[in-house]
Amino acid sequence: MLNDAVQAQRTAEVLLKVEGLSKAFVAGKPVFADVSFTLARGEFVCIIGHSGCGKTTVLNVLAGLDTASSGNVFMAGREVTGPGLERGVVFQGHALMPWLTVRQNIAFAVKSRWPEWGRAEVSAQVEKFVALVGLTAAIDKKPSQLSGGMKQRVGIARAFCISPKMLLLDEPFGALDALTRGTIQDELLSIVRQTQQTVFMITHDVDEAILLADRILLMSNGSESAGRYLPGGIAEVVVNPLPRERSRASLHHLDGYYELRNHIVDFLVSRAVAH
């Protein structure tokens, strides 16, 4: 668990505040309701739950790409009402422009963020973040010349290069093989530590959540009970008690790992009410 001093510091530095969020596609049957949580600056939070519980909808509302049926989202004290460059988003699909090289794809984002920058400044920013994801040798290749893992690295570099206040990740490694996924998890962890980035991430992978997150939000599905519909929501917030300087290779050796993993798996198997 976080010690009292660290917890107090983070509470004082809240970046994102979500209040009473709900979303209904069918009247009277919201997918989720009364979703409330905060993210502190520099905090990595994962949300986990079964398909259909509304994880991606929550992320899209935070990104300004969707609207909630009720509730509010505030970032740095300002209400989120649409997309903005202070939030970087990475989806499972890389969404790269196929006619542009790695350099040009990332430069497009940099120029959008800092239109007054000259060529040298843009180039330096691009090369810095391409190097961070280990793609310097491929900087002038087009997406068709890259593997799936390399494309996702470009997407991550593009999200980080605009220096967002918060990064939103929607299962960015879900389509990758296990070996590639593990490598990019390590790279993401390294970059987050270097940049002190605030991250909100959706995952279905319990070990991924334990490796990356400071806190894990466990989300339940909506269900019918005794003729009454119960919306889904945040059922539990789990604080990761493992040392923050953990690594994928050493994760299963840490005291408390199996207890934490079993707790989350038990929730998913017996308490999340999967459809």
Residues 94-136 have pLDDT tens digits of 688 999 999 999 999 999 999 999 999 999 999 999 998 889 9
In this prediction, residue 52 carries a pLDDT of 87
**pTM score:** 0.88
238 DSSP β-pair partners:
216
pLDDT of residue 275: 46
Residue 155 within any structural domain of the chain: no
Instruction: Flag whether pLDDT at 212 surpasses 70.
Output: yes
Q: What is the token pair recorded at 133?
A: 């994801």
Q: Highest mean pLDDT: which of 3-7, 190-194, 257-261?
A: 257-261
**Residue 42 in tokens:** 């520099």
The string of DSSP codes covering 58-114 is: HHHHHHTSS--SEEEEEETTEE--S--TTEEEE-SS----TTS-HHHHHHHHHHHH-
243-to-183, 187, 211, 236 alpha-carbon distances in Å: 20, 18, 10, 21
Decide if 164 is inside a domain.
no
Residue 176 is predicted with a pLDDT of 76
Q: How far is residue 32's CA from residue 5's CA, in Å, rounded to a whole number?
A: 33
Split into its structural domains, the chain has a count of 1
Decide if 40 is inside a domain: yes
Tokens of 224: 């019918």
Does any domain span residue 11? Answer: yes
| CA-to-CA dists, residue 159 to 44, 56, 226, 240, angstroms | 15, 18, 46, 25
Is residue 19 a part of any domain in this protein?
yes
**Confidence (pLDDT) at 12:** 52
The encoded tokens of residue 234 equal 């945040």
How would you class 221 by CB atoms within 10 Å of its CB: exposed for 0-12, middle for 13-18, buried for 19 or more?
buried
- The enclosing domain of 20 has a CATH number of 3.40.50
Average the pLDDT over each of 36-50, 87-101, 168-182 and give the range with the smallest value. Answer: 168-182
Q: Which burial class, exposed, middle or buried, applies to 96 when counting CB atoms under 10 A from its CB (0-12, 13-18, 19+)?
A: buried
Report d(CA 157, CA 133) in Å as an integer. 7
User: Does 28 reside within a domain?
Assistant: yes
Q: Is the pLDDT of residue 240 over 90?
A: yes
pLDDT band at 3 (very low <50, low <70, confident <90, very high): very low
Q: Per the domain annotation, does 12 fall within a domain?
A: yes
Q: What is the largest CA-CA distance in the chain?
A: 65
Instruction: Judge whether 188 lies within some domain.
Output: no
Where is pLDDT greater, at 126 or 1?
126
What is the spatial distance between Cα 235 and Cα 271, in angstroms, rounded to a whole number? 9
The closest of 197, 203, 212 to 242, measured between CA atoms, is: 212
Beta-ladder partners of 228: 225
Q: Is the pLDDT of residue 215 over 90?
A: yes
108-122, 171-185, 222-236: segment of lowest average pLDDT: 171-185
Q: Which domain holds residue 275?
A: 1-85+214-275
Give tens-digit pLDDT for 135-166. Answer: 999 999 999 999 988 898 898 889 889 989 99
Query: Are residues 257 and 242 in contact, defined by beta-carbon separation less than 8 angstroms?
Result: yes
3-class state of residue 225 by DSSP: strand
Distance CA 39, CA 228 (A): 33
